[in-house]
Amino acid sequence: AQSVTQPDIHITVSEGASLELRCNYSYGATPYLFWYVQSPGQGLQLLLKYFSGDTLVQGIKGFEAEFKRSQSSFNLRKPSVHWSDAAEYFCAVGNYGGATNKLIFGTGTLLAVQP
């Protein structure tokens, strides 16, 4: 069955520190992978996506993610976290462009940033 696992429910980092949020997926075909961010009371904003090609993907707000097929992972990274990055982060996988374009989301990682 298709699934996405985000093993870390909460993460706290200090401002200026580096960040890595983990995401593992289970998917039968070549996956389309996404990271979204959600601020409290808001919708989801797309940070970055992987469809094909270079496995290191650059996104908005200084985020990047690396697709590792051998590990079924798509971890999100940022070299230096800002206080405004505090939010909930969701990894998602989809059969984008197939018969159904639905996304399967992980349960999210809530990021807190200490001053």
Taking the least distance from each CB to other proteins, the nearer of 97 and 115 is: 97
Q: Is 80 in the site for other proteins (CB under 8 A)?
A: no
Taking the least distance from each CB to other proteins, the nearer of 66 and 105 is: 105
Segment lying near other proteins (by CB under 8 A), choices 19-27, 63-71, 73-81, 95-103:
95-103
Q: Record the tokens describing residue 70, joined without a space.
A: 């051998």
**What is the C-alpha separation between 86 and 14, in angstroms, rounded?**
11
Among 36, 63, 67, 74, binds other proteins (CB under 8 A): 36
Q: How many CA atoms lie within 13 A of 43 on its CB side?
A: 2
Among 11, 19, 44, 86, binds other proteins (CB under 8 A): 44
Strands (E), the chain: 3-5, 10-14, 19-21, 24-26, 32-38, 44-50, 56-58, 64-68, 73-78, 87-94, 103-105, 109-114
Q: Is 105 in the site for other proteins (CB under 8 A)?
A: yes
Segment lying near other proteins (by CB under 8 A), choices 12-20, 44-52, 58-66, 70-78:
44-52
